[in-house]
């Protein structure tokens, strides 16, 4: 059960090999997710009703832990080309929910401005954000970041 970006990138960009990893901090969340993925039947994990009920049950615990350790978010993307060239992007923000709010607002503005079609799209999909509008979208979505680096 890989990240959906892997399939979408492979399909829409025609890349032969796409690999994605996901982790969080504190490490206990990674252990918990790995345990669930390894021991629960995949049909159960794909059932939206089951996962919604599970999320409702663990949400209070997550909020307590986040209140203690913080709600930071960071993403790193490495693109390794077949010619040996590597490109890296990095995004870090001290508050996950604020960061998600800025990103959602940036996409809503893009829809209102006609830079993307209404709906939920991966950037690589044809209906996704127009290439010439991506710089503005990223500037808006990265408001308040502690680190934002692209194409290094």
Q: How confident is the model at residue 152 (pLDDT cuts 50, 70, 90)?
A: low
Mean pLDDT to the nearest integer, 86-111: 90
Element spanning 77, H or E: strand 73-80
| Mean per-residue pLDDT over the chain, rounded | 85
| The pLDDT of residue 10 | 81
Is 5 strand, coil or helix?
Answer: helix
Render pLDDT for 2-41 as a digit per residue (tens, 0 to 9).
Answer: 677 788 888 888 878 877 777 777 777 778 888 888 888 9
Per-residue pLDDT tens digits for 114-133: 988 888 888 788 888 888 89
For the entire predicted model, the pTM comes to 0.71
Three state DSSP letters for 123-143: CCCCCCCCHHHHHHHHHHHCC
Closest CA to 148 of 61, 76, 62, 65: 76
According to the model, what pLDDT value does residue 56 have? 95
73, 96 Cβ separation under 8 angstroms: yes
Domain boundaries, the chain: 72-151
3-state helix, strand, coil in the chain (%, to 5): 50, 15, 35
What's the rounded Cα separation, in Å, for the pair 101 and 91? Answer: 15
Q: Write out the H or E segment, with its range, that includes residue 36.
A: helix 27-39
pLDDT at 59 over 50: yes
């Amino acid at each position: 059960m890989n990240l959906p970006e892997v399939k979408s990138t492979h399909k829409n960009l025609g890349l032969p090999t796409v690999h994605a990893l996901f982790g969080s901090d504190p490490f206990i969340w990674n252990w918990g997710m790995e345990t669930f993925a390894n021991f629960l039947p995949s049909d159960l994990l794909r059932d939206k009703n089951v996962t919604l009920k599970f999320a409702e049950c663990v949400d209070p615990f997550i909020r307590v832990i986040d209140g203690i350790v913080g709600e930071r978010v960071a993403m790193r993307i490495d693109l390794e080309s077949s010619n040996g060239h590597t490109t890296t992007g990095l995004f870090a923000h001290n508050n996950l929910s604020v960061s998600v709010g800025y990103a959602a607002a940036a996409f809503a503005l893009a829809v209102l401005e006609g830079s993307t079609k209404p709906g939920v799209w991966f950037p690589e999909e044809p209906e996704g954000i127009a290439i010439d509008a991506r710089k503005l979208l990223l500037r808006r979505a990265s408001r308040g970041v502690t680190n934002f680096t692209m194409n290094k």
